[in-house]
């Protein structure tokens, strides 16, 4: 697989696993698994020196910090991935009768549903060696995401070998603890052909407030329909850190035609319902891991849009205000 498999990524992983096995075992195993591949030998030396209990205690690696970044590191995209939560009979107990008709509060069911959700942010980045650096090949690249106040990095990412003329895509995984914008700091540890181990910082990139916005995760197929007024009241009275939700109103000078354009280009994915016979348009936004922003937009006769919003996390309010300013102005 290291030499002849058609998929380059599989070849790289095979080299990495081979180096891991031979770099952390005794001489008898190494003699059986020996290879002449130079890039595997370099990884072997690095892993042997990094792992505790390796065979040669004198080769413990010193990690040399690079004074200047050697990588081009760019964020390509960010998306949220949620697990599939099944509505069980236990969750609907006391809510539906034998015919499936509603007998209890659907919001209670939705609250149980949200408690079982697990949302992961997938951040796609690209990494490449800079053209102005002398290194043209490195090995055993380990990309580490620094701990964040409101996000939990799930694990490091590894690349077996990176040459100067290639770009690799890397998927970072973060679990949000609070839906707040933050700056992500990453670093990379790698080995060179000279069998030395280096570290280098990577360019920081932001997680914006809008990156975290998701449509309400509850679909019609999940269970009974959620009435917008009922979930509005639940969000407003829900206790988070011993505080209830908060309501706010903003007014924007917009024509109905302008609002329609904004709806189609920026808010359509969050649309929940429109009231027939009136100019009310309702939006529901989910903020992982378990928070909400609800909005009611009313078009007045004098070309003004009245936006009433509620959220169950009060610290989101300044970010919501900024988002609305960017959307409507």
- Looking at per-residue pLDDT, the higher value among 96 and 316 belongs to 316
Q: Mind listing the pLDDT tens digit for each residue in 135-174?
A: 889 999 999 999 888 999 988 999 999 998 899 999 999 9
d(Cα 308, Cα 251) in Å, to the nearest integer?
A: 9
Question: Once rounded to an integer, what is the mean pLDDT over residues 296-304?
Answer: 87
pLDDT value for 59: 47
Domain 65-78+118-211 sits in CATH 3.40.50.720:
no
Look at residue 95 in the predicted model and tell me its pLDDT: 57
Answer whether the bond into residue 235 is a cis peptide, omega within 30°.
no
pLDDT digits (tens, 9 = 90+) for 168-225: 999 999 999 999 999 999 999 999 988 899 999 999 999 999 999 999 998 766 567 8
Give whichever of 49-58, 212-221, 290-299 has the largest mean pLDDT: 290-299
In the structure encoding, which two tokens stand for residue 200, read together? 């280098």
Tokens of residue 208, six digits: 């914006």
Q: What is the pTM of this model?
A: 0.76
Rounded CA separation 233/246 (Å): 11
d(CA 199, CA 63): 7
Residue 112 pLDDT more than 60?
Answer: yes
Q: Please report where in the chains the tokens 């903020």 appear, as a residue.
A: 287
Name the residue with tokens 């599989």: 10
Q: What are phi and psi of 15, to 5 degrees?
A: -60, -45
Domain boundaries, the chain: 8-60, 65-78+118-211, 213-328
Mean pLDDT of the chain: 83
pLDDT at 225: 81
Show the CA angle centred on residue 247, arms to residues 242 and 252, nearest 5°: 155
Fold classified for 213-328 = TATA-Binding Protein (3.30.310)
DSSP string, 50-87: HSTT-S-GGGPPPEEEPSS--EEEEEEEEEEEE-----
């Amino acid at each position: 697989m290291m030499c002849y498999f058609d998929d380059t990524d599989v070849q790289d992983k095979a080299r990495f696993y081979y180096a891991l096995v031979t770099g952390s075992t005794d001489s008898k195993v190494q003699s059986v698994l020996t290879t002449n591949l130079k890039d595997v030998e370099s990884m072997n030396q690095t892993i042997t020196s990094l792992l505790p209990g390796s065979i040669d205690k004198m080769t413990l690696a010193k990690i040399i910090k690079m004074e200047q970044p050697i990588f081009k590191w760019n964020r390509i995209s960010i998306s949220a991935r949620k697990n599939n939560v099944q509505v069980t009979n236990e969750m609907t107990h006391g809510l539906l009768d034998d015919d499936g008709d509603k007998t209890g509060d659907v919001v209670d069911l939705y609250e149980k549903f949200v408690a079982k959700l697990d949302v992961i942010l997938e951040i796609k980045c690209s990494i490449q060696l800079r053209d102005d650096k002398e290194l043209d090949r490195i090995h055993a690249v380990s990309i580490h995401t620094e701990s964040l106040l409101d996000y939990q990095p799930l694990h490091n990412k590894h690349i077996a070998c990176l040459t100067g003329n290639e770009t690799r895509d890397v998927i970072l995984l973060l679990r949000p603890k609070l839906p707040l914008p933050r700056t992500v700091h990453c670093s990379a540890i790698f080995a060179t052909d000279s069998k030395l181990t280096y570290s280098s910082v990577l360019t920081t990139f932001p997680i914006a407030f809008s990156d975290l916005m998701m449509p309400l995760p509850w679909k019609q197929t999940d269970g009974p329909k959620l009435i917008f007024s009922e979930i509005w009241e639940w969000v407003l009275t829900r206790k988070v850190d011993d505080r209830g939700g908060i309501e706010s109103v903003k007014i924007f000078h917009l024509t109905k035609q302008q609002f329609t354009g904004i709806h189609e280009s920026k808010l359509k994915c969050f649309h929940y319902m429109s009231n027939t016979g009136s100019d009310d348009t309702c939006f529901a936004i989910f903020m992982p891991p378990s928070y909400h922003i609800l909005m009611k937009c009313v078009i007045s006769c004098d070309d003004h849009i009245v936006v009433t919003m509620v959220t169950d996390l009060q610290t989101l309010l300044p970010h919501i205000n900024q988002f609305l300013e960017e959307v409507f102005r």
